[in-house]
Amino acid sequence: MREKTGLDPVCGVVAARGAHEMAAQVRQALRLTRTIELRLDWLRDERERRRLFAWLQRKRPAAAFVATCRRRAAGGLFVGGIAAERRVLEAAIDAGCGWYDLEIESIEESGGFEPIGEDRARAIVSVHRFDRAVGDPRRLLRRFRAVPGTVWKIAVECRGLREAERLIRLAELPESTAGMIVVPMGRAAQPGRILALGRGSMLTYAAVKESTAPGQPTLETMVREYRARRVDRRTRVYGIIGNKTGHSISPAMHNAAFAASGINAIYLPFPVENLEDFLAVIEPFGIRGFSVTIPHKQAIMARLDQCDRLARRLGAVNTVVVRGRRLYGYNTDYAGVVAALRGRVRLKGCRALLLGAGGAARAGAFALSDSGARVFMLARRAERGRELARAAGGETVTREELRRRSFDLIVNATPAGMAPDRGSPLAAGEINAAAVFDMVYRPTETPLLRLAAQRGAKTISGIEMLVAQGVEQWSLWTGRRAPARRMRRAALEALGRGEETT
C-alpha cells in the first residue's frame, strides 16, 4: 500500500507553538524523511497558523505533508469546534498539504464523513485511545466502516507488549482498501511502533523535536539508528530487555553491525518489567535473540530451555539465542570484563574490590577470580555478597573497612552513577586503589571515575566492557565474525550524542 501512496514510511512529526519554530523543524525533518505531519493544533493561535501556511506556499518544500489539527476530545490541543477544525485543514490543503488527518470523533459528531479540499488531498481517518481499557482492538474497526476509501489510523496506548502485538495484527487485515496505520503508544509498547511496519502499517511516527504521543521516538533515532524504513516481514528482530533500556548504547552498536554486514535485522530496546509479557511475543514478533540487563539476568534462567556451562556456573545470563521455539542462555559479560582489563591491569595476584552482587557482579567476580585475582566483595545486600564471595572463592569486606584498606583494583558492578544519577558508590576517601573500572558507561566519566582520577588512579570506562561483550553477543546470534571496529565507533558516537543532550 505504501508503494501506491508514495509516502516515506517514517513520518516526522513537527510540533511547536510558533510558525518560525515549525518551519525550522520542517527543514530539520527534510534531512531524514519526505513525509511530515504538521501538528497545527500545537500552534498557539490562528495568526501563527496563517504564518506557517504562508511559508509553505512560498517555499513549497519537497515533501508529502499531513495536516493534523486534533481537537482536545481526541487527545489534541485544538480548542475550536468541528467547523473551525475543518477550516484549518482546508487552509492547510490550500497551502500545499496533500494529506489531512481527521479524527473519527469529528466525523461521528458531524453526522458523517465529508471530504475536505475536494480531490486535492487524501484523508487519514484516525482514532486515538489513551484510556488503557481498549480490550479487543478489532472492535475499533467497526467505527471506520462508515468511511470506506480513506486510510484508517488506529493509535492505542498499550500496557505491554502483548497488547501491542494484538494491535499491530490489525495492519494485516484487509478491512481498509486504502491502507492502515497502526500505532502502539506507550513506553512499554515502543518496539511495536517500528515492528508494525513489517506487518503492513503504512506509517510510523517519530518526533522531530517535541514528542506528541507516549513512547514516540525521535526521527533521528528511527531513521539512522533503527533504519526503520527497511523493516519488512523478513527482518530478523533482536533487542535488549530490562527496566532501564532507554539510554542503552547497545541498539546503536548492534544496528551499525547489521548495516555494515548487510543483514536484514533490527535491534530494539524492550522496556520489560514483566518477563512473561515479553516471552509471549518472542514468536509473533520474530525475535531471534536478545540481551538481558537489570533486573532480569538471573530471573531469565528459569525460562530457558538450555544454558551454557559458563552462564550456569555464574548464575546469570546476559545473552539469549532463540532457535525455533527454544531459548538458549549465555553470558558474555565475563569475556567483556576480561577484555576491558586486559593490558591495563595485571590480574594475577591482584587485590580487587568488587562492588555489587547482581548479574554483572557475578560475571566480574568469576572473571577476576579465574584470572588469578584475590576478590573482595562489598554489596548493599550483605547476604547476597557473602553468597557470591563463597561461590567465586572471594571474601567480603564492610564499608567501614574501606578507608583503612588499599586495593590494586576497584570494580563497580552496580548501577550507581548511571545517568541521570550523579552519585558515586564510594566517597573519595574510600577510593584507595591503583586502578578503578566502572561497568557503568553512561556517562563516559562517571562520578566514581572522576573521583578516582583526582586521587591519581588509572580509570577504565565501562564502554570497553560493553563493546567486548556486544561483539561476543553478535557472533552468537549471527554465527559470523562481528565487525568490532564498526561497533566500537557506533557505541562511542552514540555515547557522545547522548552526553551532549544531558
C-alpha angle 302-305-308 in degrees, rounded to nearest 5:
90
Own/partner pairs for 139-148, CB < 8 Å, 24+ apart?
A: 141/170, 141/173, 141/175, 143/104, 143/108, 144/104, 144/175, 144/176, 145/175, 146/107, 146/112, 146/113, 147/104, 147/107, 147/113, 147/123, 148/177, 148/178
Please tell me the distance from the alpha carbon of residue 479 to that of residue 261, in angstroms, as a whole number: 12
Tally Cβ neighbours within 10 Å of residue 493: 14
153 is catalytic: no
User: Catalytic one among 4, 59, 153, 297?
Assistant: 297
Please tell me the distance from the alpha carbon of residue 180 to that of residue 182, in angstroms, as a whole number: 6
Q: Phi/psi at 237 (nearest 5 deg)?
A: -110, 130
Please tell me the distance from the alpha carbon of residue 1 to that of residue 111, in angstroms, as a whole number: 29
Helix/strand/coil percent split, the chain, to 5: 40, 20, 35
Please tell me the distance from the alpha carbon of residue 213 to that of residue 70, in angstroms, as a whole number: 12
Which grid cell sits at 206?
A: 517519530
Q: Which residues contact 11 (CB under 8 A, 6 or more apart)?
A: 33, 35, 36, 37, 66, 203, 204, 205, 206
Own/partner pairs for 389-392, CB < 8 Å, 24+ apart?
A: 389/365, 391/315, 391/362, 391/365, 391/366, 392/362, 392/365, 392/366, 392/368
Please tell me the distance from the alpha carbon of residue 361 to that of residue 344, in angstroms, as a whole number: 19
Tell me the H-state helices in 304-445.
309-314, 333-341, 359-370, 382-392
Residues catalogued as catalytic: 297
